[in-house]
Structure 1
């Protein structure tokens, strides 16, 4: 008897009550009982367990009930489950397995409710597996371990059937795979070890066979279509029945077999590889290539390398074309070819930048490949000229009046913007700046600029690309011209207020700020009296404006309009100041020798020969030369050609062009020496002590945005700074330098 006076329930008696409920549960699971447990039935079974567990020892049956709970599950598995599974195969076996797993979960759920009191106290106190865990472990040990290999193989077979286009029962596969997951009771080990590993090996094998066949018979676009379709279907497969954790590793396996293994063979296919696709503007295929390869670790590297090689070779073709076209043609033809070359380079950049932005979604690796390709051929010498010079000439042609390209304002600005983008690839940006400044000065001083807005537009773009210092002188030049016009208006007012100061002719003077403009050659030209008076008048005016500024006259940039009184008709001659000075000498003499002209004008031979060539040996023979040869020599003599005439009443007498390239390059090299010196001093001033390698590296880095410094030149400049007491070598380590304040 217990303390409440109730009679103890003996184990056999209590268990016979439980057997009634368990028997009904088995009948329900077999599908022979439609009604579930009523609440009264459930309470009888629950209370029975409760009573058997709370009795005093030796009638407290918790351990026995816990053991009996597992025993009855195992018995059911042995009697009802394993026999039915053993006789079925493939898909039928999977259906039975899913059904039995589902039934088992129902059985465990009901039994653990009946035995719930065990879970609340006994299991917790003894740290035993819960009823649910113990129940599922029974299935795992007896059914799952027996059937897992067959189930895995059957599932893999069905997956491969689906890959081959057959219809399969996806819901069935999902249920089987869910069993692999659930059997781990929170751990993915069973799913991964018993199913996923084998499935991945089979997947690799499957796609390896497919790829070996496709890579031989399919073109690159066709192969990529198949690869993309396979990857999409595998992703879809995961969403339908595989566990989501499989997606990444499964797709990696497929990518590896279809793409990684065959990367080079695919991309370099002779008639359909990436180069052919780029050449034929196959935008869709290139986009697909990016979609496929960017998902692979380092997958875009071979794509980027081939992209770079292709763009480089296209660029070198343009270089070779212009070399071949120029050949032995005259200068004007060469100029046209150079303009055409820059235009084609811009078109090439437009084409491949569109690929980078649209097909490769501005991927940094592909962008770098484009940059390196253009840097390669944009720093080649093309028909004797650097690309820095060619770009400056191209801009000049667009911006000057009467240029070869007749473009709308919108197209001009677009084109200028593209030129500035190309400039980013040029290593000698300082050389471009000097050529550009030289040509800008000619456009401004000789009124050849077609549009001030365009001039300012490109300077804004250059400033954004290269910094304010890059364009400061150029902006100063444009501002100078505005101030010069105001100055000229003030000069006209001065003359109208001082009639006695009249220069005797129309005079326009452009005053420039020395630091902004290129260095021009100034000579001690002995001006004719008419011109001397002009200079004096302007000097007097300018002194009323400022006393602190000194005027240096650059006669080589001046132009004169003089009237030639020829026998047939007077003709207005437009020419340079030097040419006008020569002709004005013939107002006082019929014939002058070479040495007479040289003495009177105080000119050097080099300048005088050019002047006399333009006036006596070129298109317009204003002077007759004796002897009548095509070149000028010191023994020649000259007289005014009074019989000269032309159908025009106003003609321009050009001077033979001078190759200014050498001078520009010399100026740039001189500036580079100054820049290197300044950089070295800046670095040493902040660091105080620095090793040779580090100093050179920092100097190169500082100046790389403007030009690529030559290491030998840096070494020379370091030596020069040592001799000028800016730096000194360390006494013990000759590769260590100290800054001398």
Structure 2
């Protein structure tokens, strides 16, 4: 063609021959390939027509480029697509789309110079872009509704079990994306919206049928399989942005719409699965619902209600058993131990569900906590839950425990007790009962293992804070110091031969404030015990001159030898019992009033003593008349004929009836001080605070020890105002000010 001026018709005829050859190549005509010379001639022709000064055909070439594509589409592409249907139409569409992209690529190379200079200078769409737009406007918009319908039909067939060409669907879907030229509107509006709507309808029909026909486990198996298949389907031939939308649509139809009907199925729903320990089905339920917004809440509510019902049933069983045994005293105390043991087993079981089936999810931890709070704080036969748990702890830690556990099992059980304690609202009451029972174990040498005691206190401290265990730890320290003091006392006696107590004496010195308060009386001690007391007083004055000893005889223990006709026996009794029995060394018979006068005890204390020695299991004294209650006009005779198969027996005192009441009263009193301290501490730091916020912060500060009553807090606020710690704002009565 040379470098002469090229007329448009001449040049375009030459280019048209090249475009025709390109069409043959795309149609698969053999031997229709471009040589390098042909390629360069086409390029050069376009270059010359675009660069010659006059006439310059850049604009005409740009327009002809579009016209050539349109002509090809109308004459070849559309007819070939229109004559096919269904899957064959999709194959033809994919083929023509691929050919079109190749054609645009080749033409863009031929027209490269035009693209770089003319198109850029005129701010026109690039040739490649114009070529894709041409396909979108003249092919895609013509066939997309039919193509979308065909694709969705194939997807539905696959859902029903038919084999389909996934690669074909992938190519069609890719075309929906590519014709958007970087925008997802065509894909989302033309295809995705239709596909999601059809998916919703498909699974809505399935769910409506399954929910009536299938059990809950069978329904969930089908739902899980459908979700798995939809994820696989999306990964194979849908755009990645569609997967989550599709899964949410399927989840909504299968799981959300029928959630209550599914979970509440009478014989196979959530409650039935929990009741039947269907761990695998519960795990599947969690997997299905955990990704749905608030999807786990209905499951957690059923779980909470079931656990709460089981726990309340255990409490009711204990209540019934206690009623049959007339309370929790004596043999009936086992009822409390059994109840706590069953509650621990219940907690182990359902904590296993939380950690296993429900993957340690916080919603189920909360549900379990709320469920246990329902029944853990219920009293049984007049005994508070805090007392029952403290009694169980004591039984684990004391010698001769009915649990018969190994060291490892004891540690594990104590750990479980501490975990259970988190559900109790009266933790301070539990601490006080624990302190009482720890005192008994320490003072009467009933502690099974000091390491377990220390470990238990450490666990309590970690759970509830140092204030919770400070007194109990001080008690343990006192017992350690007592051992050293006893050694020093024995050395003192050895270095002072003129001081002879006459009997072996062991004294425990307790610090006031750490130990529970004990009743002290002016008991008239026997001469033998008086010598011992005076000896220790002399020693203690050398150790701590500024400290005063106050003797608590009610806690003392004595070992006496009773000379009975069948055989002598060793009696382990309290100091009170010992003082009473020693009176019979001088006489065989004493009246109630004579004993009262000689011992200087109240009638109440004396009745307990005489009952333990004449009306209980071991009848060391014979009561006249022989009735089951002690009266002021009774007489008592030493029972020389008493015998027992054991050579050493312990004679217990009956429990003090109002001891529980006193513990509760002491705790209530301490709570007042704790609330006062919390309120002052808050106001001291905040200076000014509203009534509601003050109450809320007070509850939050104290709930680690106990759950304060709102009315009690209000009452303490009024008391602090009266005592000029706080004052009300003159303009707003709901605002309080701290009075410095």
**CA offsets 1:674-694 (integer angstroms, 9 cap, x no match):** 111111111122122333222
Residues in 1 aligned to 2:292 and 2:628: alpha-carbon distance in whole angstroms: 72
* Correspondences of 1:89-488 after superposition (within 5 Å): 89-330=85-326, 331-488=329-486
* Residue 702 (str. 1) matches residue 701 (str. 2): yes
1:464 is displaced (CA, Å) by 1.4
1:35 is displaced (CA, Å) by 4.7
* Correspondences of 1:536-547 after superposition (within 5 Å): 536-547=534-545
Residues in 2 aligned to 1:381 and 1:653: alpha-carbon distance in whole angstroms: 30
**CA offsets 1:156-187 (integer angstroms, 9 cap, x no match):** 00000000000001111111111100000000
* Residue 48 (str. 1) matches residue 75 (str. 2): no
Match of 1:725 in 2: 724
Residues in 2 aligned to 1:465 and 1:613: alpha-carbon distance in whole angstroms: 42
Match of 2:594 in 1: 596
Structure 2: which 5+ runs fail to align? Answer: none
Secondary structure of 1:418's counterpart equals helix
**CA offsets 1:119-172 (integer angstroms, 9 cap, x no match):** 101111111110001111111111111100000000000000000000001111
Match of 1:525 in 2: 523
Cα 1:507–1:145 change in 2 (3 A) is same
Secondary structure of 2:534's counterpart equals helix
Match of 1:30 in 2: 27
Q: After the TM superposition, which of the residue ranges 242-251 and 709-718 deviates more from structure 2?
A: 709-718
1:321 is displaced (CA, Å) by 1.7
**CA offsets 1:455-491 (integer angstroms, 9 cap, x no match):** 1222121111111221122122222211111111111
Q: After the TM superposition, which of the residue ranges 275-284 and 595-604 deviates more from structure 2?
A: 595-604
Residues in 1 aligned to 2:386 and 2:39: alpha-carbon distance in whole angstroms: 93
Secondary structure of 2:125's counterpart equals coil
Secondary structure of 1:508's counterpart equals coil
TM-score by length of 2: 0.97
Residues in 2 aligned to 1:119 and 1:486: alpha-carbon distance in whole angstroms: 103
1:372 is displaced (CA, Å) by 0.6
Residues in 1 aligned to 2:443 and 2:299: alpha-carbon distance in whole angstroms: 50
**CA offsets 1:346-390 (integer angstroms, 9 cap, x no match):** 111111111111111111111111111111111112232222111
**CA offsets 1:211-257 (integer angstroms, 9 cap, x no match):** 00001111111111110111111111111111111001110000000
Residues in 1 aligned to 2:22 and 2:727: alpha-carbon distance in whole angstroms: 99
For residue 71 of structure 1, the aligned residue among 67, 80, 89 is 67
Residues in 2 aligned to 1:132 and 1:676: alpha-carbon distance in whole angstroms: 79
* Residue 566 (str. 1) matches residue 564 (str. 2): yes
Match of 1:735 in 2: 734
2:558–2:578 CA contact under 8 A, matched in 1 = yes
Residues in 2 aligned to 1:249 and 1:241: alpha-carbon distance in whole angstroms: 15
1:732 is displaced (CA, Å) by 4.3
1:326–1:333 CA contact under 8 A, matched in 2 = no
Secondary structure of 1:457's counterpart equals helix
1:397–1:405 CA contact under 8 A, matched in 2 = yes
Secondary structure of 1:65's counterpart equals helix
Match of 1:692 in 2: 691
Residues in 2 aligned to 1:228 and 1:569: alpha-carbon distance in whole angstroms: 80
Match of 1:13 in 2: 10
Residues in 2 aligned to 1:629 and 1:572: alpha-carbon distance in whole angstroms: 27
Residues in 1 aligned to 2:627 and 2:106: alpha-carbon distance in whole angstroms: 124
Cα 1:34–1:447 change in 2 (3 A) is farther
Residues in 1 aligned to 2:480 and 2:400: alpha-carbon distance in whole angstroms: 23
2:24–2:32 CA contact under 8 A, matched in 1 = no
Residues in 1 aligned to 2:593 and 2:285: alpha-carbon distance in whole angstroms: 76
4+ residue runs of structure 1 moved beyond 6 angstroms? none
TM-score by length of 1: 0.97
Secondary structure of 2:324's counterpart equals coil
Secondary structure of 2:411's counterpart equals helix
The number of residues matched between the two structures is: 736
Secondary structure of 1:708's counterpart equals coil
Residues in 2 aligned to 1:187 and 1:731: alpha-carbon distance in whole angstroms: 65
Secondary structure of 2:475's counterpart equals helix
**CA offsets 1:180-202 (integer angstroms, 9 cap, x no match):** 00000000100011111111110
**CA offsets 1:536-589 (integer angstroms, 9 cap, x no match):** 110111111111222121111100112223344433221000111112223344
Residues in 2 aligned to 1:41 and 1:571: alpha-carbon distance in whole angstroms: 129
Residues in 2 aligned to 1:192 and 1:618: alpha-carbon distance in whole angstroms: 89
2:3–2:48 CA contact under 8 A, matched in 1 = no
Q: After the TM superposition, which of the residue ranges 462-471 and 589-598 deviates more from structure 2?
A: 589-598
Residues in 2 aligned to 1:380 and 1:34: alpha-carbon distance in whole angstroms: 94
RMSD between superposed Cα atoms in Å: 1.6
Q: After the TM superposition, which of the residue ranges 358-367 and 628-637 deviates more from structure 2?
A: 628-637
Cα 1:326–1:628 change in 2 (3 A) is closer
Secondary structure of 1:382's counterpart equals coil
Match of 2:491 in 1: 493
Residues in 2 aligned to 1:718 and 1:368: alpha-carbon distance in whole angstroms: 32
Secondary structure of 1:561's counterpart equals strand
1:420–1:461 CA contact under 8 A, matched in 2 = yes
Secondary structure of 1:305's counterpart equals helix
Residues in 2 aligned to 1:23 and 1:688: alpha-carbon distance in whole angstroms: 91
Q: After the TM superposition, which of the residue ranges 523-532 and 582-591 deviates more from structure 2?
A: 582-591
